Amino acid sequence: MTLNQAQQTVDEWINSIGVRYFSELTNTAVLMEEVGELARIMARTYGDQSFKKSDLKHNLADEMADVLFVLICLANQTGVNLEEAFHKNIDKKTKRDSERHKNNEKLK
């Protein structure tokens, strides 16, 4: 599935099952909530925190998908073509960082 297809799929889901988009501000808050849930799983899986019983039901892939879903909602609401934006972002990073990371002693 391309990012354009994902944006279309989310839009179709919102308009048929979700009734309508939440406001952009609400979706920004929901995005932060979802990122927090992802961070919790990352901290407990790869960091120093231990799992609580309530954490055991969470699934890393599902949490990442939740973040992506809400980000796509925001892109749809604000007229951002994520596929185009992603390509431009990769080009920017490539031009800006083409030598930077190769010369970073911390990465060797």
pLDDT tens digit string along 26-48?
999 999 999 999 999 999 999 99
Domain assignment of residue 65, given as a range: 3-81
- Per-residue pLDDT, 101: 85
To the nearest whole number, what is the mean pLDDT of the chain?
94
| Domains: count for the chain | 1
Cβ-contact 63, 41 below 8 angstroms: yes
Q: Over the stretch 50-75, which tens digit does the pLDDT of each residue have? A: 888 777 778 999 999 999 999 999 99
CATH at 36 = 1.10.287.1080
Provide the pLDDT for residue 20. 97
DSSP 8-state code for residue 56: T
Q: Is residue 66 part of a domain?
A: yes
Has residue 11 been placed in a domain? yes
Q: Which residues contact 69 (CB under 8 A, 6 or more apart)?
A: 10
pTM for this one?
0.89
Q: What's the pLDDT score for residue 54? A: 76
Please check whether residue 69 is in contact with residue 4, taking contact to mean a CB–CB distance below 8 angstroms: no
In a domain, 88, yes or no: no
